[in-house]
Structure 1
């Protein structure tokens, strides 16, 4: 009779005499991407082989304010901050039968006289949460004299094995009625903030996921709206 040697770190003989792979030794089997802002349901029963999950949670970035300037004057607004990020390795035994997945939206674009909106939080159940970026505010009044404004603070860390807040939005300044600079958008773990402006228009939009929008700039009677923040994302790695 032939004999076969197997590594008992990976295989076991069941009560029925069959040689099987030990649960949890298969490695990565699937990756789920939730890219559209919404609420989803993760059902553990859909993956009977599941041993653990590794989740990456990126919140939405803040939206930036618009700007309005009088004739011969200039307004430049600060940028919005990037969304926070969190990650966690979770054993299947710690999961509920269902877990709610939330993908945070980017913050709304502000108008010429209204602040940008905050980015939405993203989460995987109550086990991993990232906080949305703060919106850029309408802080600079129309004028032609030198002035500068502080940038927008980033959100605090959320919940996870690793959790961090988003990057701050950049400050803005005016040199005179024709020259100035808006603030850049804040960075995120999975995205970049928008580019700042030295000419009239809305600030740049973020790239990737969770970046903050740059502030708007207006001069010589211009009125411009702000820019929306980058949306969040949740990524779930499934291990068997």
Structure 2
């Protein structure tokens, strides 16, 4: 009569005689994506097989400042800062039955000659946290002479087993009344900053999640609004 041996590290035999996998040995079984800005909840009871989770938290990027130049003048704006990123791995017993999730919203672009708003921070359970990217400044006046505008710092480092700050938004340069370059937005761990521009137009949109908006450029009068920063994202990987 044939017999079969099973490794006890991975299998067990139930009282009913069924061969079963040991909890915690099945690897990644499901991934949850929280993309909508605002609050949500994670309930571990919805996953009775859960052994551990890996949480990846991306903050939102900042919005860039608006630009409204006078006649025969120009204003290029710097790019906004990228949002920070944090991640942690938890055993199922280390998390509560219900944990809160916050997804940050990208900072709004400035109108007229006003700065952009900071991006919102994202978090999981209040222990894996991130800071949103700073908004782009709007402190350069219209003119026709060479001038520079400082770059914008990226988001500060949050909390987690791995925590990374956001990328800096690039500075801006005016060469003359009609020539210049606005700043590119700061990158994030899960996204890219909006493009810088050398022609009149609004701030460039970021791609992915958490990138800062590119700077606006106004030449000879038309007001150009700043760009909106990229929204944040929370990813919860479920291991059985």
TM-score (norm 2): 0.96
Stretches of 4+ aligned residues off by more than 3 angstroms: 13-19
> Paired residue for 2:37?
37
Find the aligned partners of 2:85 and 2:59 in 1 and give their Cα distance: 6
Q: Does 1:84 align with 2:84?
A: yes
Task: String of CA shifts for 1:15-44, please: whole Å, max 9, x gaps.
Answer: 676543211011111111111112111001
RMSD over aligned Cα atoms: 1.3
Partner Cα separation in structure 1 for residue 51 and residue 160 of structure 2 = 19
Aligned to 1:63: 63
CA shift for structure 1 position 14: 4.9
Q: What's 2:237 paired with?
A: 237
Instruction: Report the Cα distance in structure 1 between the residues aligned to 2:124 and 2:15, rounded to whole angstroms.
Output: 37
Rounded Cα–Cα distance in structure 2 between residues aligned with 1:98 and 1:22: 25
Distance 1:102 1:127 in 2: 11
Partner Cα separation in structure 2 for residue 34 and residue 231 of structure 1: 11
CA positional deviation for 1:88: 1.1
Structure 1 Cα separation of the partners of residues 109 and 178 of structure 2? 24
Q: Which residue of 2 aligns with 1:9?
A: 9
How far off is 1:3 after superposition?
A: 2.7
After TM superposition, the structure 1 = structure 2 runs for residues 12-27 of structure 1, keeping only pairs within 5 Å, are 12-14=12-14, 18-27=18-27
Q: Distance in 2 between matches of 1:62 and 1:185?
A: 8
Within 5 Å, give how 1:118-137 maps onto structure 2: 118-137=118-137
Question: Which residue number corresponds to residue 100 of structure 2?
Answer: 100
* Corresponding position: 1:110 with 2:102: no
Corresponding residue for residue 163 of structure 1: 163
Of stretches 124-133 and 205-214 in structure 1, the one that deviates more from structure 2 is 124-133
| Cα distance in structure 1, aligned partners of 2:79 and 2:86 | 23
What are the superposed Cα offsets for residues 136-169 of structure 1, whole Å, 9 maximum, x if unpaired?
0102111111111111001111111111011000
- What is residue 173 of structure 1 aligned with on the other side? 173
Give secondary structure in 1 for the equivalent of 2:93: helix
CA distance in 2, matches of 1:200, 1:221: 10
- How big is each residue's C-alpha offset from its partner over 1:203-234, in whole Å with a ceiling of 9 and x where there is no partner? 21000111100111111112111110000111
Q: CA deviation at 1:13?
A: 3.8
Residues 1:217 and 2:217 aligned together = yes
Provide the rounded CA distance (Å) in 2 between the counterparts of 1:127 and 1:4.
Answer: 46
Q: Secondary structure at the match of 2:211?
A: coil
Question: What residue is the counterpart of 2:194 in the other structure?
Answer: 194
In 2, the alpha carbon distance for the partners of 1:220 and 1:105 equals 32
